[in-house]
Structure formats: C-alpha cells, structure tokens
Chains A and B, each alone.
Chain A
C-alpha cells in the first residue's frame, strides 16, 4: 500500500515540480473523503494538479469553468424532451463524475455556487423531484482566485466550511522553474501518466484512513488546539466540532500517507494550516497567520 502511495506522489511530482507538500495535502484531502479548495493566482498550476490527480487515481474527470452567467442546471444537468421516445430524458451535467474540477468557483453567482456545494455535501443531486446519486468516490477540487481580484463573489463561511482543506500552491522553486524553462512540458508529462490505482483500491485506502490510531495524548493536544481557537482573543470564531473532526480526519490521512499506523503531533501540525485556515479567517484577519501563531503557542505535551 505504502508503495502505491509513494508512487502516486512521485508521479504527480513529475508534473507539478517541487510541490511535494501540497501534493501530499491534496492526496490526504481526497483520502479523507474531503473536497479541496485551491486558492491561488492564475497560472500557478491549480488545474494541472487536479488533472494529474484524476489521471493517477484513475478517476473520471470533468472540468467546469465557472462564469458569472452560469446557472445551476449547467452543472447539475437538465431534462430534455426527446421527440423520438416522446419522453423527458435527463442529461447529466458535469457534476456526474468522480473528480470535478470547479475552476474559478468564485466567479459564478451564489446561486450556482450553492448548487454545487449542496451536491458536495449530500453527494447526490435532486432534479425535477428525482434524487440522483453521484458516482463514488466523488471529489470536488475547486479553485478560486484571491478574493481581491475583480469579478468575484465571495464564498460565505458556511460554504467554505464544506471544503476539508484550502491550500495554495505558491510560486515554484527556482529549480522547478528552471526545469520549466528548460522545456519540461507539464502537459506532455500529464499525458504520459498512468493510473496507479483503481476505484476499489482507493476505497480501501480511504477505509485505512479511519483505522489510523489516535492516542489519548494526541487527542489531548487536539483538544488544546481547538480550545485555543475558542478562547483566544485573536480568533473571532472558534473551530466548530465539524472543523475539529475534519482536522483529526485529515491528520489521519496524512499519517497514512507517511506510512504510520498512529497519529503524531506532526500530522496535526502538517494539516492544520490547510484545514483550519479558511475556517478561522474572518474579516480583516488572515487565517494562515493565526494558525501559525497558534501552532507556536499551544503546547504539544502538556497544557
């Protein structure tokens, strides 16, 4: 199992140079059955990451470019009257895929955003009074431009909460960029990737995540972290129980990726910025810095 995971990480690493940490986070997010929000400037490799993941994990892949005039039906699908059979037939929208890349999600209207976010939460869609299951596994990788950019609708907190992690890729390292300049074409690399795992294997991996042990000492640390967010004057809002559970689950996936059967404080710390950052941010405060400070303040061993 461990080999498979390292192979996956290595494969994606070939396409997205020098971003091992982010790749692992994205993988952990998917293993923990969570959805991923990538926030970054255009051209940083968001789409490439999503594409590579789909490719390596052998998932059916759809990409939707969100625009401001988009309607929910454009994502979910629509019933069309067919003259031949004299009946309505449902045309599946892009949401019916195992991995959906929702590109620039904050460019669409809140109505459309919420249609997608609902599908993410329920893993099913209701159209014309009929409930349709989405395929299993079902991931959404959404990307959004930094909020300051023009023509964006802000995702409200309640909807941010639907994403297990929010990561940003950041500029590539010097070596990676040099490699790019020297003609390594990510797209060509992408085409060469083969699936390392099938959906059955993925399900098994997801099941394994749940078996990673969390000792009392570690849960104490988790509790201290959560309490800190609720009591510290710096945090406008504390971490919700769902947020705390998300943190634990993501850390488990992270531990699994690193081949451990039990959780270490490092695991929590590794996923903490990605899991808690967007949940703790509020007007005027940056979630990332807050989490950094929190990691330094909360004692790992004892209160």
Chain B
C-alpha cells in the first residue's frame, strides 16, 4: 500500500509526460526509415502502456515484464542485424533503450534521462544524413527537446508558448558558443564503420553495363557530382568523368571482373601493364597538371570515384586503379569530396606497351554470337587498315545511318549484330558496346568506359553540376604510339549530346516517363538549380569542414597554430564577452549617474574614512558633521562648512554653493589636519 502511494507521488504530471512523448516522437520520426519496423511498434506500445499507467488503468510493469521486454528487444536487434559492432545496430540499440525507458518513466530523474538520450539520438541522425532539410529538422528537434526540458519545471512553464519561448531563447544564446566550437573543436575521424546500406544502390553507375541500364539513369535529374575547378575549366567536349572501365563482355553484359562485390582489389593484384609496377609506379610528369579540381560526389553506395583521364589524388582513402580510374577504400555512404589533378594524356611519355595478359583482357570476346560483327571486324582487319583507320570506318558507319534515341527497340540474343545491322537505333551504351566489340573483333585492344559526360556550369557559384542523366558510356582504344585514346562513338551520331548534353540531343524523349514534365517549366528548373547551389554551399562550408579545412581556417586566422594562440583565440572572446557582461551588469545596477555635489561630498566622506570615520549609509550629512565635530574637534568647523555647502548645493540647488564646496574640498586633507 505504502509502495503504491509513493509511486503515485512520484508519477510525472500529465504535461511532463506529453512533452516527453512529443520529444521522443520528433526524434524517432526520421530514424524510423533506418530502424526496423518492430521498433516503431515497440515504441507505440511502450507509450500506450505508460499512458495507461497515467490514467490509473494499469500498474507500472513489474520486474519480470521489464526483463522480458529487454530480452525481446535484444533478441529482435540480434535477429534484425546479425552483427553488433556497426553503426546501425548501435543506433537501434539506443532507440531501443530510449523506448524501454518509457515503461519505467516514473520520477523526474527518469524524465531528464530520457530527454538527454533524446538529444543524443537526435545527433545520430547526422550520421546518416547531412543535408539541409535534415539539419533544419535537427534544429527543430533540439528546440522541441529543450522545450520539453523546460516544461519539466512545472505547471506554468509547461505551457507551449512559455516552453518554446524559453527554449528558443536558450538556444539562440547558445549559437555563438556553437559557432566557436564548430571552428575550434578538433575534428576526429569517425570511430565507427560507415553503414553499408545496400538498399541505397539504386542510382548511379553500377559495376556492370547491360542494355537498358543507362535508360534508367537518363530518367533521373538528381545531382551526381559537383565539381569546382582551381584554374581553367575544361571545354564541354573534354568533360568526360571516367568512373569505371569494363573489359569483360559475355555477349550481353559488360562487366569488370573483381569489381562486383564492392570490395576493390584493383591496382594491386592485377597487372595492367608490363614491368609489374604498372602505371602507379610511373613518376609524375614534370609538366604540371592541366586541371586541378575538387569533386563532391553524392552518396553512390559504391566505391568508384569520377575524374578525368590520368587523375592523381592526395585525398585520404582515395586510391588509383590500374585502369586509370580512382576509387575509395569503401563504398560512399555519404557525400564525399576529393581533390584531383589530371594530366593531359599526351603530356605523358608512352614508353609502356600493353602486357600480354592485358592484351588478352582487352581483346576478350565471348565464345560465340554476333557473327556478323565478328566478320565485319575481321574484314576490316584483313584490309590491312591501322587501328585508327578501323576506328574511322566503324564511326563512319555509325554516322551514316544510325539514330540516337533513348527508346531503342529491344534487342535479342545477338545484341551487337542486331544493333549494328538491323535496328540501328540506340544510345551511348549501344554505341560504345558495339564499337568496342567490333574493334576487338578487328584486333584492336579496346574497352568500355562508363561515367558521366558534360554537366551544367553554374556560373553564380562557379561549379559544374553533373546529374544522373549525364551518365554516359564511351570507348577507349589502345594505339601503340599514343596509349589509350578516348573514342566516343555517340559523338559520331549525336554530336550535340556531347556538346550540349542529353536534354538537347533527345529533347522529345528526355525524361519522358517523368510523372510530371517539371523539367519543361523553366521556372522550376531554375528553382531546382538554385536549391542545388544552396546545397553546394552548405556542403562546402559546413559538411566538408574537416580537419584540413579547420587547420587552414585557423591558420588563416592565427597565422600559426600553437597552443598559446589557440588559447588566446578561444579565451580572448570569452573573456571579452564576460568583461562586457560584467560591465553591463555593473552599469545597469548603478542606476542614474550621481550629480556633481553628491560626488564631491562622497570625496569628502572618503577622506574622512581614511581618518577612521566612516559615514553610515543612513546618516544624514548634518549628523555626520556633528559626529566629526565630536570625534575630531579640529576638523569640526571645516566639516561643518563643507556640509552646509553640500546641503545648499545638493538640496537647495545653489550653483554658488557647488563652487564653494569644490574650493573647500581642495583645501581639506583631514589626514594632515587631524594629526
């Protein structure tokens, strides 16, 4: 009986509970997309139970029930994730503990704990998403949680207006501190493994290319890359952002052996070039890079990075493959920025040839199929033409009668043959695939390159915006005297595709399947571009503010980063702020300025205090003068005169008395007179 009574007493009031639930909902809402569904149900159940307890229809769950709940939750987590030390299960664990806390939410302490956890959980959101909408949502949830905290104080402060007001005020006051900490707090690398979200690999270029892949991409207007240049910007026809090289063809799919499982072995085990070292070992040319640029890549959930030919990157974790492309050590789960320098191909000496294994790889053709194409290739070869001439022949054929379209007729078993000799309609992947096939049939080492081509130059923010529909496939052939040379068969058919982009090359078909033809409304496109610029800014200034940038910024601010300077940098504003606050408090508490006679009289009092006679606050000047007379008879007459002058000046508003008081004080040095 007594236990129930004490529990009743410690029960939280209704407002408090509702605030906590609101904060929890706000924090968990965006997490629900990552979290397993049963967790959502568990949360609802816990909240329901707690409300029932509040209405007195149910008891707080006993120890057995709690134990059961914990066991179930842990088992659920284990079954859902099957691994422990990754980020997602950890976040889920946090959410679970947050949820379970509800059923023992009894005292104010529990409430505070729950809300503190809410802050933490709100912060975990940024592990998954760092875009502006999520940042705004993060601010929103912090406001709600703080308001909930403020509401815990009791009845009046639980009113929404009051709680929000206080919360907003507190957070606004915290903004300067936040900015300061943003700049100076040391940036540590993530301590956790980046979530390997397999479900997100829906957009972007994949590890293989089969007919139809690029059609899918051409329907997406999402940004893929944002590229800023330090120095000259390449002309449109040079903007080939190479991502992947496909060498293996099975008759239908182009793929890269060893690149499929997301774990990359390139550049190490595979010797693309003779001499064992490959291109990596080659010293960088003395001639400077033609282009220096920074690429910000949207999360692609694959490790491939995009750059122009012959790239070099110093960004940590970026490696170079034997096929002259860049890749990251793990799949990109979030936006990633990397610096690239690209050398023009012809500035590098071509003293290396293709090794025999590489040659074999780049001449590989499936066992059978596409007989006509093979015959055509052999025929071209038999005519004794050089590699470049063969290429010219093939391109001439493309140029004569082929049509560039985003909606090609479906192809059958012998896709290359059908495309080359019957349908003759297709887009980049068809052209690249059949071109490479024919070249290989003619004995010229060739490969398919997938990536992006073109991009929209955003003049206002000076960056190149590459979208998913800029995805492109082209070919490279090996010329013994020049090395790998880019050949874009699509350019032979639809040069405007290369020059002006997909939108103008296939105006009628472009994004035809979109639900609403939004891209046709100029205003909306502009708005979209505007939004992209804002996003770019956001990423540039906030998200990509890593250790290097922090160092750079501090260096710019301080000249040199030393502990003293850093302490000065942090301490000086803090001390200045505190001093200002102190001064302000001092000034505001002092009240109106004392008039002149008062100040003069206080001077008299200070001098008297030095002799040992302190005026009491409530002692009138007259009384004080009499006391002076009593204690120091020699000072008496002077004190009397000063006092009467002061009284006249201060209370009779007599300006002459003020002058007199000044004069009298000039000659009044009690220390000298008294002794």
**Which residues in A have some Cβ–Cβ distance to B below 8 Å?**
213, 215-218, 220, 261-266, 269, 294-303
A266 touches B618 (CB 8 A): no
For residues 610 through 643 of chain B, which have their beta carbon under 8 Å from a beta carbon of chain A? 616-623
In the complex with contacts A215-B653, A266-B620, A269-B620, A303-B591 CB distance below 8 A:
yes
Select which of A213, A220, A263, A299 is within 8 A of B618 by beta carbon.
A299
B595: interface (CB < 8 Å): yes
B602 touches A301 (CB 8 A): yes
The interface residues of chain A lying within 8 Å CB-to-CB of B559 are none
B594: interface (CB < 8 Å): yes
Select which of A261, A265, A297 is within 8 A of B621 by beta carbon.
A265
The interface residues of chain B lying within 8 Å CB-to-CB of A264 are 620, 622, 647, 651
5 smallest CB-CB distances across A and B, nearest first, come from A299-B617, A217-B650, A296-B618, A262-B652, A265-B620
The interface residues of chain A lying within 8 Å CB-to-CB of B454 are none
Instruction: Give the CA-CA distance A262 to B650 in the complex, in Å.
Output: 10
Q: Assuming A220-B592, A262-B653, what are 11 further A-B pairs, CB within 8 angstroms?
A: A215-B651, A262-B652, A265-B620, A265-B651, A266-B622, A269-B620, A296-B617, A297-B618, A300-B620, A301-B605, A302-B602
Select which of B594, B601, B617, B650 is within 8 A of A297 by beta carbon.
B617
Select which of A216, A261, A263, A300 is within 8 A of B617 by beta carbon.
A300
In the complex with contacts A297-B617, A299-B618, A300-B619, A263-B594 CB distance below 8 A:
no
A261 to chain B minimum Cβ distance, whole angstroms, is 7
B517 to chain A minimum Cβ distance, whole angstroms, is 71
The interface residues of chain B lying within 8 Å CB-to-CB of A294 are 618
The interface residues of chain B lying within 8 Å CB-to-CB of A215 are 650-653
B143 to chain A minimum Cβ distance, whole angstroms, is 35
B598: interface (CB < 8 Å): yes
Instruction: Give the CA-CA distance A264 to B601 in the complex, in Å.
Output: 15
In the complex with contacts A264-B647, A300-B617, A302-B602, A217-B597 CB distance below 8 A:
yes
The interface residues of chain A lying within 8 Å CB-to-CB of B57 are none
The interface residues of chain B lying within 8 Å CB-to-CB of A217 are 595, 597-598, 650-651
Instruction: Give the CA-CA distance A213 to B137 in the complex, in Å.
Output: 65
B520: interface (CB < 8 Å): no
9 A-B residue pairs with CB within 8 Å: A215-B651, A215-B653, A264-B620, A265-B621, A266-B622, A299-B618, A300-B621, A301-B594, A303-B591
B264 to chain A minimum Cβ distance, whole angstroms, is 74
B651 touches A302 (CB 8 A): no
B368: interface (CB < 8 Å): no
For residues 310 through 337 of chain B, which have their beta carbon under 8 Å from a beta carbon of chain A? none
Closest B residue to A293 by CB, please name it.
B618
Instruction: Give the CA-CA distance A266 to B653 in the complex, in Å.
Output: 17
Closest B residue to A266 by CB, please name it.
B620
A76 to chain B minimum Cβ distance, whole angstroms, is 44
Listed residue (A297, A301, A302) with the most chain B CB atoms within 10 angstroms of its CB: A301
A261 touches B652 (CB 8 A): yes
Instruction: Give the CA-CA distance A175 to B620 in the complex, in Å.
Output: 29
**Which residues in B have some Cβ–Cβ distance to A below 8 Å?**
590-592, 594-595, 597-598, 601-602, 605, 616-623, 647, 650-653
B614 to chain A minimum Cβ distance, whole angstroms, is 12
The interface residues of chain B lying within 8 Å CB-to-CB of A263 are 651
Closest A residue to B624 by CB, please name it.
A300
B651 touches A218 (CB 8 A): yes
In the complex with contacts A265-B620, A296-B616, A298-B617, A216-B652 CB distance below 8 A:
no
The interface residues of chain A lying within 8 Å CB-to-CB of B651 are 213, 215, 217-218, 262-265
The interface residues of chain A lying within 8 Å CB-to-CB of B618 are 269, 294-300
Closest B residue to A299 by CB, please name it.
B617
The interface residues of chain A lying within 8 Å CB-to-CB of B622 are 264, 266
B531 to chain A minimum Cβ distance, whole angstroms, is 56
The interface residues of chain B lying within 8 Å CB-to-CB of A261 are 652
Closest A residue to B602 by CB, please name it.
A301
The interface residues of chain B lying within 8 Å CB-to-CB of A302 are 594, 598, 602
B604 to chain A minimum Cβ distance, whole angstroms, is 10
Select which of B595, B601, B605, B616 is within 8 A of A216 by beta carbon.
B595
B590 touches A303 (CB 8 A): yes
The interface residues of chain A lying within 8 Å CB-to-CB of B650 are 215, 217-218
In the complex with contacts A302-B598, A303-B591, A213-B653 CB distance below 8 A:
yes
A298 to chain B minimum Cβ distance, whole angstroms, is 6
Closest A residue to B616 by CB, please name it.
A296
Instruction: Give the CA-CA distance A215 to B617 in the complex, in Å.
Output: 19
Closest A residue to B593 by CB, please name it.
A302
A52 to chain B minimum Cβ distance, whole angstroms, is 29
Closest A residue to B589 by CB, please name it.
A303
Select which of B598, B623, B653 is within 8 A of A301 by beta carbon.
B598
Select which of A220, A269, A301 is within 8 A of B601 by beta carbon.
A301
Instruction: Give the CA-CA distance A299 to B615 in the complex, in Å.
Output: 10
B66 to chain A minimum Cβ distance, whole angstroms, is 48
Instruction: Give the CA-CA distance A295 to B619 in the complex, in Å.
Output: 8
Instruction: Give the CA-CA distance A296 to B601 in the complex, in Å.
Output: 19
In the complex with contacts A264-B622, A295-B618, A213-B605 CB distance below 8 A:
no
Instruction: Give the CA-CA distance A294 to B618 in the complex, in Å.
Output: 8
The interface residues of chain A lying within 8 Å CB-to-CB of B619 are 300
Instruction: Give the CA-CA distance A300 to B602 in the complex, in Å.
Output: 11
The interface residues of chain A lying within 8 Å CB-to-CB of B597 are 217
B120 to chain A minimum Cβ distance, whole angstroms, is 42
The interface residues of chain B lying within 8 Å CB-to-CB of A297 are 617-618
B617 to chain A minimum Cβ distance, whole angstroms, is 4
Instruction: Give the CA-CA distance A264 to B644 in the complex, in Å.
Output: 11
Closest A residue to B622 by CB, please name it.
A266
A77 to chain B minimum Cβ distance, whole angstroms, is 46
The interface residues of chain A lying within 8 Å CB-to-CB of B595 are 216-217
Listed residue (A263, A298, A302) with the most chain B CB atoms within 10 angstroms of its CB: A302
The interface residues of chain A lying within 8 Å CB-to-CB of B601 are 301
Closest B residue to A225 by CB, please name it.
B618
A293 to chain B minimum Cβ distance, whole angstroms, is 9
Instruction: Give the CA-CA distance A42 to B4 in the complex, in Å.
Output: 63
The interface residues of chain A lying within 8 Å CB-to-CB of B653 are 213, 215-216, 262
The interface residues of chain A lying within 8 Å CB-to-CB of B621 are 265, 300-301
Instruction: Give the CA-CA distance A218 to B650 in the complex, in Å.
Output: 8
Listed residue (B594, B605, B617) with the most chain A CB atoms within 10 angstroms of its CB: B617
The interface residues of chain B lying within 8 Å CB-to-CB of A220 are 592
Closest B residue to A268 by CB, please name it.
B620
The interface residues of chain B lying within 8 Å CB-to-CB of A296 are 616-618
The interface residues of chain B lying within 8 Å CB-to-CB of A265 are 620-621, 651
Closest A residue to B597 by CB, please name it.
A217
The interface residues of chain A lying within 8 Å CB-to-CB of B602 are 301-302
A255 to chain B minimum Cβ distance, whole angstroms, is 10
B664 to chain A minimum Cβ distance, whole angstroms, is 17
Instruction: Give the CA-CA distance A266 to B591 in the complex, in Å.
Output: 23
A259 to chain B minimum Cβ distance, whole angstroms, is 13
A268 to chain B minimum Cβ distance, whole angstroms, is 9
Closest A residue to B592 by CB, please name it.
A220
The interface residues of chain A lying within 8 Å CB-to-CB of B605 are 301
Instruction: Give the CA-CA distance A218 to B605 in the complex, in Å.
Output: 18
Listed residue (B598, B622, B652) with the most chain A CB atoms within 10 angstroms of its CB: B652
B458 to chain A minimum Cβ distance, whole angstroms, is 62
Closest B residue to A301 by CB, please name it.
B598
B344 to chain A minimum Cβ distance, whole angstroms, is 79
Instruction: Give the CA-CA distance A296 to B617 in the complex, in Å.
Output: 6
The interface residues of chain A lying within 8 Å CB-to-CB of B594 are 301-302
The interface residues of chain B lying within 8 Å CB-to-CB of A269 are 618, 620
Closest A residue to B615 by CB, please name it.
A301
Instruction: Give the CA-CA distance A300 to B616 in the complex, in Å.
Output: 9
B536 to chain A minimum Cβ distance, whole angstroms, is 57
The interface residues of chain A lying within 8 Å CB-to-CB of B592 are 220
Closest B residue to A261 by CB, please name it.
B652
Instruction: Give the CA-CA distance A296 to B605 in the complex, in Å.
Output: 17
A294 to chain B minimum Cβ distance, whole angstroms, is 8
Closest A residue to B594 by CB, please name it.
A302
Instruction: Give the CA-CA distance A66 to B130 in the complex, in Å.
Output: 86
B648 to chain A minimum Cβ distance, whole angstroms, is 8
The interface residues of chain A lying within 8 Å CB-to-CB of B652 are 213, 215, 261-262
